[in-house]
Chains A and B, each alone.
Chain A
Amino acid sequence: MTSDPNFTGAAGPSTEELIFDATEAQRRRRPSRIERVGDHLKREWQLYVMLIPTILWLAIFLYKPMYGLQIAFKDYSVFRGVEGSPWIGFEHFQTLFGNDQFLRALKNTIVISFYGLIFGFPMPILLALMFNEILKQTFKKTAQTIVYLPHFVSSVIIAGIVITAFSPSAGIVNTMLGWLGIEPIYFLTKPEWFRPIFVGTGIWQEAGFQSIVYLAAIAGISPTLYESAVVDGASRWQMMWKITLPSILPTIIIMLIIRIGNMLEVSFEMIILLYQPATYETADVVNTFIYRQGIQGGQYDLAAAAGLFNAVVAFVLVMTANAISKRYSRTSLW
């Protein structure tokens, strides 16, 4: 945002001066460390109280269950319990990686997520930019409400709509293809069509709702920037490229990192509702594999191993994305 390549950031007092000030202050009063923490707590206790529910939630629902992850390395029996089951090392992981269907599910997970990222990620941004250009308020509000709506509809209903829309006999898609003289296609049993349908459905369902974040970011841009641009004779197009987009770039990058972290969390309930054995080839993802083998088959230990592997991959992905972003754009999660 600045043209000076040697720009280093903070202006004002240098680090040495700040440290000097601080030690001076301490020398003058010298309160103990505990006293300072105590003071701080006394002053800001309301904030800490508000933090408690979140910490409890994290501890109970995210950290405590991690204790059970050890069953990925055990021959788990529900009756013997987590502690009573014998250790077996990496056997479940060996089983998984010796299973062609798991490897296929892994590949499908990555491909579907990647499609979702390429086609799904820019959509809400585009939508937000478009909404921002609408001048008439009533039209803007109506359009927004319409695109938010699918987000609030249950996956089961969405799947029903998709199945009906793509039905070869009564579906709107095949009806329209019929006008063009194309024979009806039984889309939901064709492996080559599964990913486009699934990713498309996801975009249709979520893009509108996800655009809220970007709209909020846009609302936070100072109007003075636009006013001066108007004075300088900038077109609307130029204002979008030179002001709006750069201003919401940090938001876009944070959202991208979060998205990459969740990349392997394909919404598997939707897949279960839409897939068939005939489309497993392209539709079966790690989570549906876990569901069939682990939960339905009662192999909790194997399912835990697959889930743990999924989590490790997701962790590596989010760390990598964060590091890249930190390096090139100075925006990062931590």
Chain B
Amino acid sequence: MRTSKLAAAAILGTTALTTPVFAQGIELPIVDEPLELSIHMHWARAQGYGPGGDTSKIYPVEEVAREKTNIHLVDQTSGRNTTEQSEAMNLLLAAGNLPDIVGGANIRQPVNEYGPQGAFVPLNDLVDEHAPNIKAWFDEHPEIWDAISAYDGNVYYIPYLPDGKYARAWYVRQDWLDKLGLERPENVDELYDVLVAFRDQDPNGNGQKDEIPFFVRDWEEVLRLLNLWDARSTGADVYHQFYLKDGEVVHPYAQEAYRDGLANIAQWYEEGLIDAEVFTRGSSARDYLLGEDLGGMTHDWFASTSGYNVALADKIDGFNFVPFLPPKSVSGQRIEENRRIPMKPDGWAISYTNEHPVETIKYFDFWFSEEGALLANFGVEGKTWDLVDGEPVYKTEVLESGEPVNSQMYLEGAQVYRGYPQDYRYEWQWTRDAAREGIELYDSEDLLVEQFLGVAFDEEEQAVFDKYYPSIQTYMLERQQAWILGTGDVKEDWDDYMSALNKMGYEDVLEVMNSAYQRQYAN
């Protein structure tokens, strides 16, 4: 960690992160007399605005923010006994007594649905007039402003904006490749040969044919193999989503490339190249299959997967699990479908009961200023980090405490799901070397594909979508698993499948998707 500090700074230049632009003109404190604003803050790590959800305590970050802005956030979170954000949000809305600020995870859909009904304040004019930093950020990223808009064209929430590019990557047992005298697979045919060799040539050397060449934790990750046949498995950072094909919104599971790709996946599954228990293995698959020296290749998160090299060093002799470039598809394309999405459905909004919308938007703007962004990302200066040559650098005791840095930050009140621009420098400092090398490798080629950031439906479109789409997706997934498992043949069943989709309203769903898309992203 220590030695790589300089290297980190050097690489940061090449990872081409969007360096935040900070506008001037923010006046602190925002109000002369302390002003209390109530807040609902519900997300995975904390149900309530306090360390770990304990609202009797105050985040160190909040204390500094109070000092600087004179605005005091006071917890008023609903649904504190559920971890389900949509449930908490519904409780909040149904109770009717909204706090001044509504924040947390997954607020985009409810805020954009109930904002136009009057529950939240439109932010467009407020941002224009009172939030120079937010405005500067979105002037640079107009497509994200479009993406967070509701169907009436207004913006109702300020999102959490993740930084960094990569999420999951392809990983292979380099020591197995070396043992069998193989190269890292560069294309789909070589990948096939490697998997066959893993299956047949006993790379773990126990004399049994028990190796599982390709395994995943979430069974949906198997679908990434579709990319090898120029098909898509999803258009966003969650599974089974629509994607953009030549400027039009379509579903990946209704494309001919998908048919061909899935036929091949079914073939690989039948040949035993893919984990036979892929649908029921679940989240312990990676721990178990790597720990027992059984798994050869996977597609999983960059950072956490690299951790096994340390964890299993003593247990398995020579264990070396490394990221490799996505193999080229049949047409010679190399893509990494999974990436960090540039904006999340998380953040915060101003509710209609708020009597100080101007002060609130100025407060939101504070977190987009240089000072606020550092506070939101790294915690309190001098406590968790110091400024070294103009760069925020974590203190050694933070990096070496044994606790993951993000977990420490959550308790400080940094990296909380308020609306703020994340700074990748925060994560890079505690990314392990294996993953850093992988990220550099992935950066050496242009692998990422455009993400579909979703659309905001008006009420009629929402009704059409709700009526047809849940059943369509259920049907798609049912057929998908059946084909992979060998119940039915995707090529033979294809025409029936497509006509069934059309009968279930696929065309209507595409129509509302595209009309909403045109409205939202036209300019």
Contacts and interface: CB of A to CB of B under 8 A. Distances in A.
Question: Are these two chains actual partners, yes or no?
Answer: yes
Interface of A: 77-81, 95, 99-101, 163, 167-169, 186, 188-189, 276-278, 280-281, 292-293, 297-300, 302
B470 A278 contact: no
B481 A276 contact: yes
Interface in B471-491: 471, 474-475, 477-478, 480-482, 485, 487
Nearest to B352: A79
Contacts of B474: 101, 277, 280, 292
Contacts, number: 69
Interface string B480-509: 111001010000000000000000000000
B94 to A, nearest CB: 5
Contacts of B93: 78-79
Given A168-B277, A188-B280, A297-B470, A278 B117 contact: no
B301 to A, nearest CB: 23
Nearest to B114: A79
A227 B282 CA distance: 59
Contact of B117 (A79, A189, A299): A79
B90 interface: yes
A99 B471 contact: yes
Contacts of B114: 77-79
A198 to B, nearest CB: 14
A207 to B, nearest CB: 25
B276 interface: yes
Contacts of B117: 77, 79-80
B482 A278 contact: yes
28 contacts: A77-B114, A78-B90, A78-B93, A78-B110, A79-B93, A79-B117, A79-B118, A80-B117, A81-B94, A95-B467, A100-B471, A101-B474, A101-B475, A167-B280, A168-B277, A169-B276, A186-B276, A186-B485, A188-B279, A277-B474, A278-B279, A280-B474, A280-B478, A292-B470, A292-B474, A293-B471, A298-B86, A302-B466
A292 B474 CA distance: 9
B119 interface: yes
Interface string B278-297: 01101000000000000000
B90 A189 contact: no
Given A79-B93, A277-B478, A278-B487, 12 more contacts: A78-B114, A81-B96, A95-B467, A169-B276, A186-B485, A276-B280, A277-B480, A278-B482, A278-B485, A280-B478, A297-B470, A300-B90
A169 B208 CA distance: 13
A101 B114 CA distance: 29
A79 B113 CA distance: 9
Interface residues of B, number: 30
A95 B470 CA distance: 13
Contacts of B94: 78, 81
Contacts of A99: 471
Interface in B447-479: 466-467, 470-471, 474-475, 477-478
Interface string B106-120: 000110011001110
Contacts of A280: 474, 478
Contacts of A168: 276-277
Contacts of B487: 278
A91 to B, nearest CB: 10
Contact of A169 (B118, B277, B471, B477): B277
A300 B93 CA distance: 14
Contacts of B471: 99-101, 293
A300 B279 CA distance: 29
Nearest to A187: B280
A78 B89 CA distance: 9
A98 B450 CA distance: 37
The 6 lowest CB-CB distance pairs between A and B, nearest first, are A278-B481, A277-B477, A79-B114, A78-B93, A277-B478, A277-B481
Nearest to A102: B471
B481 A189 contact: yes
Nearest to A95: B467
Q: Which of A101, A276, A277, A293 has the most CB of B within 10 A?
A: A277
Contact of A293 (B113, B470, B475): B470
A163 B482 contact: no
A78 B87 CA distance: 11
Contacts of A163: 280, 282
